[in-house]
Structure 1
Amino acid sequence: MDKTVERNVGIDVEISAKSNKVKGSIGELSGYAIKFNKPSVAEAPFTEYIMSTALDHVDISKVLILYDHNYANVLGRVDAGTLELNVDNIGLKFKVQVPDTSLGRDVYANVKAGNLKGMSFGFTVAEGGDSWKQTRPKPTRFINQIKKVSEISIVSLPAYDDTSVNVTRDVDAFKHYKEQNYRQKVKYYLDHI
């Protein structure tokens, strides 16, 4: 029987209040749930790396995004069209349309405030899909092939610091930021002539 393992990773979150958002969504969160070839945090009894081959041939069409690995706290899912997952050379990138629910609003606000800064994922390793190396001060595990990713989660304590979750900003917000920044620079310059 396969044992599902959970791994937490750090995240940088982007939040968006896009006008063209999915109906029932308050905004968008995006980032990386898994980053390849990055070590797990020091507190674990071993160091773990998810290798760039780990997601080869893995079906990610039914993955959910949860809050804190709790299946009662669903924020989105691939097969509903509210979660988008893509594997690239960095890792497993996600984009979720956060639902307008009390959980969605709470998670969104906590990510935006910087209170939630971690991602985690639940997975099973394929048979023979990992290898170990005896290193000091503790052993190192390499996950070469994952059998299944069941969920990704936004969490408070990540096992991998390199993951990211970001609040996605829309074009209008970016234009406003650039305009405000430009005005501040001009004002500073004029004040100091």
Structure 2
Amino acid sequence: MKEKRFFTTNTDISIRSVTDEQGNTTDYFSGYAIVFDRRSVEINDWNGTYYEIIKREAVESYLNSKKPKDIVLTFNHNLQEPLARYKSTREQNNLTLTVDERGLLISAPIGNTQLARDVKEMIQRGDVDGMSFIFTVDKDGATYDKKETEVVRTINSMSGIYDVSVVTFPAYQDSDIAIAKRSIESLEKETEKNYEPDLALEIDLLKAKSFS
């Protein structure tokens, strides 16, 4: 069974300017879409009630794997107007994904589109300060530590990351990282072989909007 969840990190998106040797300046979207080893707010879904932690190796192993990858940077998860994109089949990409000690850092040059300019303005004004992402977990990719008063779920292995997004409203805010409790069961009968992430993701996002 495939699992998707919206995660949000608060106050992690910013505008970064880089000037080259010729004096040309390029502005970039920059921020942490995923933060490692931070406990989430309480989640309630078909797995039960628990807190969740994402390990570095879960993200790093997936990004270093030979699995085909197609990850889109969006605004509020709108796949129709991507801000940038990383595809493992392309030689050049305008979305950079870097794993460091803190988490998954994304960086993308701000394109010459109205949406990109609008998002840049909203970030600079402080109207938008959150990031979010959508992922799936490998079979047996999570472990559970059951204690008397709580359960902690640790994500050790991911099967996919599909969307990193600048978001207006992180659904649940808690310090640096929070989780939107809008998980959706979907595509239970599909296998890894015939799974189409773009189409499935659009379906899930439409479902998520209907619950908000």
Do Structure 1 and Structure 2 share a fold, with TM-score over 0.5?
yes
Compute the TM-score of the two structures, normalised by the length of structure 1. Answer: 0.70
Give the alignment of 1:128-143 within 5 angstroms: 128-135=140-147, 138-143=150-155
Higher-Rg structure is: 1
What's 1:52 paired with?
A: 56
What's 2:86 paired with?
A: 78
Compute the TM-score of the two structures, normalised by the length of structure 2. Answer: 0.64
Q: Give the match's secondary structure for 2:120.
A: helix
List alignment gaps of at least 5 residues for structure 1. Answer: 164-193
Give the alignment of 1:166-181 within 5 angstroms: none
2:68 is equivalent to residue 64 of structure 1: no
Q: Give the match's secondary structure for 1:121.
A: strand
List alignment gaps of at least 5 residues for structure 2. Answer: 45-49, 178-212
Q: 1:122 aligns with which of 118, 126, 134?
A: 134
What's 1:3 paired with?
A: 3
- Number of equivalences: 158
CA distance in 2, matches of 1:111, 1:41: 25
8 Å CA contact 2:16–2:30 kept in 1: the answer is no
Aligned residues: percent identity? Answer: 28
Q: Name the Cα RMSD after superposition.
A: 2.5
Q: CA deviation at 1:5?
A: 2.6
What do the CA deviations read for 1:27-69 (whole angstroms, capped 9, x no partner)?
2111211110012235x44321111221132137531111112
Q: CA deviation at 1:138?
A: 4.5
2:111 is equivalent to residue 99 of structure 1: yes
- Relative distance call for 1:115 and 1:10 in structure 2 (3 A) is same
